Structure 1
Amino acid sequence: MLLDDPSGLNIQYVDRTGSGLVYAALLNSGNLILANSTNTILWDSFSYPTDTILPTQILRPGIELVARYSKRNYSGGRFKLKMQEDGDLVLYSTAYQADYSNTAYWRSDTKGSGYELVFNETGQVYLTALNESIIELIHFSGSSTDESYQRVVLENDGVFMQYVYPKSSNTWRPKVWTTAASKPIPGNICLELEQSLGSGPCGFNTICTLGNDQRPTCNCPPQGYVWLDPEDQTKGCRQDFAPQSCDISKPDQDKFELQEMINTDWPRSDYEMYPSQTEDWCRQSCLSDCFCAVAIYGFSNCWKKRIPLSNGKTHEAVERKALIKVRKIDSTREPAECQKKDSISKPVIIIGSTLLSGLVLLNLLLVILAFATCRRLLSRKMVSDRPSVEGVGGLRNFTFQEISEATDGFKEELGRGAFGTVYKGFVSSSFGHGGHFVAVKVLHRLTEKGDIEFKREMKAISQTNHKNLVKLQGYCNEEDHRILVYEYMSNSCLANFLFRDWKPSWHKRVEIAQGVARGLSYLHDECGTQMIHCDIKPQNVLLDDSLVAKISDFGLAKLLVTDQTRTMTELRGTRGYVAPEWFRNMAISAKVDVYSFGVLLLELICCRKNYKMATEEEPEMILVEWVSDCYHAGSLDPLVLDDEEATGDMNGVERFVRTALWCIQEDPSQRPTMKKVSLMLEGAIPVPIPPDPCSFIS
C-alpha cells in the first residue's frame, strides 16, 4: 500500500505480503491506525497531527501542529506549535506560503527539562520530563473524558484553545462545543504577538482586539479603510481614499484630517521618532508630511508611521493614542479642465465663411444642439443631486428586483420590529457559484430627510466591524425603497434562546453577556462616530451558528420618525428597557444603552423576562425590583434556582448582579460606561457594592 500526503509525497509503504497491511481502524480515541496481522500498528494519525490533538495523544520531540489558514481553508496557515528537541514547547508565527518559523510569541520555558506534551483522559494537557514526571500544566478542561468529548486546537488566529462537548443527555444543557475552564494560550495574542516581520495576529493595516472568546477580533480603522478582501480578513485593509500628494506643486494638506483612537498603537512601521514633543506638534508634523499615514503619541513622544501598518492593537494597557490620517469627508477632487471651445468655434467660422447663404439654417441647428445639450446636462445634474450611497466601501448595491427575487417575493418573514420587517433571503455569490442566506430588513417610516439620513447612517454602519455586531452585507436605495441586507443568524434572537422551559448553559449565558457588552462598548467608544442603539433588548441580540451574540439594528435609530417605536411614543426603546431620563426631558447619552443592558443582563442571569405576570409571589413580578431586594437581603440563591451550573459559580453570579445594579441606577452619571461594564463582567476590575436605587421603572 502506498500512503501519500496532500502534496502527493509518499508517507509510508506497506507490503501486502507477509506481515504487511491487513486492516485499518478508527479507534474510540479518534486515532486512525493501519495494522498488520499481528495487530502491530504500522501507521497512525496521532503521529502525524495537523492542528488538533485529542485525549491520549502525545506530541513527541520534533512534532508540530500547524494552524489552518482560515475557518474554511484547511491548508497550512500562519502559526505553528512545536515540541522542540531542546524541551521547549513554542508557539511560532510563520512566513505564510513558506514553511519556516518567523517569531516565537509564547514558550513554556522548559528548555533542557521538557520532553513530551501529553493530553490525558482526565482532561489535562501537560509537559513531562524524560522520567515522565509532570513539569508544567498547559491546559485543564475541568472534566474527564467520561463526562465530555474534548479537543485542543491551534486555531487559525494563533490561539491554542481547549474545547469540551458534554456527553450528558440532560435536555437543559445545550449540545455545543464550548471553551474549557482553562485560559487560552497566549492570554492576549493582540498584546503578546509583536513581530518585526509580518502583519501580526491580523492582516496589515488592521487593529486587533481581544474578543469575549479570548481570540483576536480584527477590524479596519473606523474611517477611510476597508477590507482588501472581505472574505479573507487576513489579507488586511487598504486605504479607501486617494493618499496625500507628495507633489509640492499641488499641495493638498488641507484636504486631510487626523482620526483619533485612544489606547491604540501599531508598534512597528516607524520611520521617525521625536521625543519631548506636544500632541499638537505631533499632529501638525504628520499632516504636513505626505509619507505619514499614522502618528502615535504617548508620554510626550511622537512616532510617525508609514503604510503598511503592522501589529495593530487596541487595549487599555496600550497607553498611547493613534492619530490616523484620512481624507476629509467633504473634500472634493480637483475639477477636470474645461474643454476648449476651439473645436467648436473653428468649424463654425469655416462654415460661416464658406456657406454664408446657410447661416440661418446653421443658427437653427446650433439652437437645437444647445437645447439638447442643456437638457442632457440638466438630467445629469438631477441624477447627481439625488441622494445615493454609491461607493460605500465593502457593501453590495442591490436593485429592488434583486431583493424581490432573493426573498421570493418577500415570502418568509423572520420578524417585525421598530425599524421594519425582516425577511429571509438567498443571495447568489458574485462568482455565480453557490450563495448564502441573508436577512433582508425593509425599513419603514423614515424621517422627512430620510434619504440624506440613510446615506449618512449607511456610511457610518458600513465602517463598523466587530465580532459582536451583525454584519451589514448590502443595501437597496432605489426610489422609495430603503432596504438593508444583513448576514443571516441561524439561531434566531436571544429571546427565543433564553425564555423557554429549560435554562441554557450558565457558561454560554456568561459568554453572551460579555459579547453584548463588548459590542456596545465598540459602538460607544471605538467607532469613528459614536452610535447609541436606543433599543437594546433580547429581540435585538441575534445568535450565529456557534451561539455567538451579535447586536442588530445598531445605528438605525436616527432614521426613524420621532414617535416610531413598538410600545412607546415620543421616545426610543421598548417598555421595561427604557432608561428613566427618557421620561424626564433630560439629555440623552450612551448611558441609556447602559441601562437597557443592565435589564438584559438580569434577564440573562435569571432566564426570565423583566416583567412576569404569571408568578406566585408578587415581589417577583418586576425583575429589577426582585433582584435588588434579593441582593440587599443577602440571598441570591432564588435567582438561579434549579440552575446547577450557576449555583456552582455564585461568585460569578454576584459579580454579574452587582454589575447589573450599577447599570440600572436612575442617575445616569452613576452608571458605568460600557467599556467599564465589559471589564467588570470579565473580572478584570473589581465591582464595588452598588448603591440602593430609589425606585425602578415598572
Structure 2
Amino acid sequence: MGSSQTSIPPKTISFFTVLFLFLSTSSAQNVLLRGSYLSVEDDSDILTSPEKTFSCGFYGMGQNAYWFSIWFTNSKDRTVVWMANRDRPANGRGSRVSLRRGGAMVLTDVDGSIIWETNTTSTDVERAELLDTGNLVLIGPGSKILWQSFDFPTDTLLPNQLFIKRTKLIARLHSGSYASGYFSFFFDNDNVLRLIYDGPDISSIYWPSPDFDVFGNGRTNYNSSRTAVYDEMGHFISSDQLQFSASDTGLLRIERRLTIDHDGNLRLYSLKNDTGLWVISWQALSQLCNVHGICGINSICAYTPDPECSCPPGYEITEPGNWNKGCKPMFNQTLSQSQQVKFVQLPHVDYWGFDLNFSASTTLDSCMELCLGDYRCKAFSYSLDGGGRCFTKGVLFNGYRSPSFPGNIYLRLPVSFETSQLRILNGTDPICQSSESETTIGSPSMYSINTKRTRWVYFYSFASAIGFIELLFIVSGWWFLFRNRGLPNLMEDGYHAVLSPFRRFTYTELKKATNNFKEELGRGGSGAVYKGILTDERVVAVKRLENMYQGEDVFWAEVSTIGKINHMNLVRMWGFCSEGKHRLLVYEYMEYQSLDKHLFSPTFLQWKDRFKAALGIAKGLAYLHHECLEWVIHCDVKPGNILLDSGFEPKIADFGLAKLSQRGGNSSDFSQIRGTKGYMAPEWATNLPVTAKVDVYSYGVVILEIVKGIPLSNWVIEGREEHESDLARFGRVVKRKIQCGEVSWIEEIVDPRLNGKFSRNQATTIVELGISCVEEDRNKRPTMDAVVQALLECQDVDGRCS
C-alpha cells in the first residue's frame, strides 16, 4: 500500500485545481477559508448566504469610507444589519479582511494597521461562513462555532438572534452616519428591557414609560435570566414579560429586522419582496416626542403634524441642522439673586423630569417663589391638573408641547433680555405673544424681603411632599396586597388584565357577554353595537362589524394600533375578535350615549356642556392628528359618534376604523364607504387624497350644530331651485351679518332654548372657527391644534377670550 501508487489522469488534476481555486475565492459563495481575504477594491469580493438572503463584505458610503458589514441582499437600499467597524471606517484602497492562519479574522487599513479583529486565537478555526440567518460565524472542527457576529449586534436584531445581558443595540448617530449614537436598547440592572438616551451630559430612560413602575408597565423584574428573542413569524418574547407580534404575523417567508433607529424608536420591520422596501410592523412608541433627547437639551418637540424640534424663547439652536446638541441660552444662564428676572409663559409645554421641587395644591405665585428662591431653577411647570401642581426645573430636557397637556412652563429669563429677542426656531410656536405672558419680578431689594417667605415655602413644600409620598406608599401597599391576590396566575400567562387591558377575545366570549347579542345600543353604517358584561364584570359596548373583507392579519394590524391609543376624549378600545367571518370590537360603555341624543332633543344641553363638548372633541382630534400615528384619521366625525360620560365629557367613538379598513386601497374606493352625508368634506366627491382636513371639516359642522341646536347636515333644502345645503346657507348668512357689522348677530344664531344664558365670546369664537373649518378649500381650514388653542383661550368661567 505504501509503495503502490495510483496514477491520476491530467484532466482530473485540472478539474480539482479549478475546484480548489473556486472554493478558495470569496466571490459568490458563503465561505472564506483560512488564509484567504476579502479586498475593499474588488466589488465581487463578498460572501453570500446559501439562499442569497444576506451578503457580507465591504459596504461603502461617501467618497472613501468603508465598513465590513452584513446586509440584506434583496432590500432596495441594501439595509445593513451588522458592522464590525462602525466607529472607524476603513480606507477605500488597500483595506482587507483576512482570516489569518492564527485563527483570527482581522480588518486592516491601507497602512496595515488593525482596525478590528475577532477575539479568536485558536488555530482550530477552519473557515468563516455566512449563514442564512444573517449570522457570520467562525467554524472549527466538528462544525463548532468559535465566534459569531450574533454575539456583537450593532443596531439590529434578527430572527432567532438571542438578546442577552451583555448585548446591546445602539442606534446610529443620525441618518447620514453609521457611527454609534446616543439611543440604546438593553437589559437594565433590574432585569427589564429599556430604551435610554445616553448623551454626553445626560442619561434618561424613556421606555417603558417612566411615569409608571415595572408592574404598571406590564413587566416583571423577578426573572434575572435576561434573555429575549423573536421568531420568523415576528413573535417577540422576553424574560421581563415584554411580548409583541408583527402586524403581518402568520404570513410565511417574510424577512424581518428589529432595529433601534437614529430617532430613538425601536421598530420591527418587514420586507416587501415585490418592492424591496421596508414597512413598520410594530414600534415601541407611537409618539416620537416621548423619546427623550430627540431634540436635545433645552429644546421643545411638537407635532406640526410630524414631530419637529424648536428652541424656546431666549434660546437658539446650538449647531444648525443638528438637534442632537439642542439649544443654547442667548444670555448668561447664571442668574444671581441680585438680578431682576421675568418669567415667560409657554402654554401647554412641559419638560419631563429633572425636578428640583414638587408641590401639590399650591398657587401659581407660590410656585414662582419656589423657583425664585433657588439659583439652580431655570423654569417651573405649573398645572391645575390635580389642584395646582408645581415642579421647579434644574435642567430643561425632554421638552414637548401638546394641546392635551393642562399646564404651562414658565421660563426664567433676565429682565434685561428684550422681548423682541425672544424667538422660536423651526416653525413651531410655543412663543410669548404678549405682555400677559411675562411676569417681571421687581427690584433687587425685593429678594431680601422675600427670603424668609421663600424659606417657609420650602419648608411647607418639603413637608407636603413627604406626606404625599407616605400616603402613596400606604395606598400602593394596600392596593398591591388586596387587589393582586390572583396575580401569580396572571403573571404565569404574562399578562395582567388591569395593567394591559387590550386583548383578543373569542367569539364565544363575546356572544356570552352580550347574551347572544340581545340588547342593541345602536346601529350605524359599519354595524350594530350591543351592550355586554365581561367575566371581570366590566360593562362594554360590542360592535359587530359588517362588510369587512380584509384578512385577519390586516385587521389585527389596525385594531392593535388603535388599542394602544389612549386619550381622555377618545372612547377606549378594550379588545377585538377576529374568527372566520366574525369581526368584533370591544369598547368601554358610555351610559349617557351620544351627543345627538342630548343636542337635538327636548332635554337639550346647557351652554357650559356645549362648550365642554366643542373643546373635548377638538382635543381628541388634535391628539389623533398631531400626536398619534399619522394615518389615524377619523373620517366620520358627527354627533352620533360623540359619546358622553357621566360628567358630560365628550369621547370620540369609532375613530380611525373607516380609513383603516381601506388602508392601502385605491383612493377611489374611499368615497364609497366614508363619512356621513352632510358631514363629509367636499374633497370626497372629487376623490382627492385623504388628509386630516376631512376631519376638520366634519368638526366644523358639529360645532356649528352645537351652537345652533339643530342639524345643519341635511343634504339639500327641499323645494329650492338651486340645491343649497343648510350648512352652506348658514355660512353665507353668518358671513354677511359679520361683514355688515350687525351687533346682535350671535344672539340670532344661538339655540333659542338657552334663553340667552350663554357666553357671547365663546359662542362667537366657536361660530367663527366653525365657518373657517367648513371652507371648501381645505388649505384654508385650520389644524385641530390651532382650534384647541383658540378654544382654550376662552375656557375661563365667564368665557372671556384673550
Shorter chain as denominator, the TM-score bin is 0.3 to 0.5
TM-score by length of 1: 0.45
Q: TM-score, normalised by structure 2?
A: 0.39
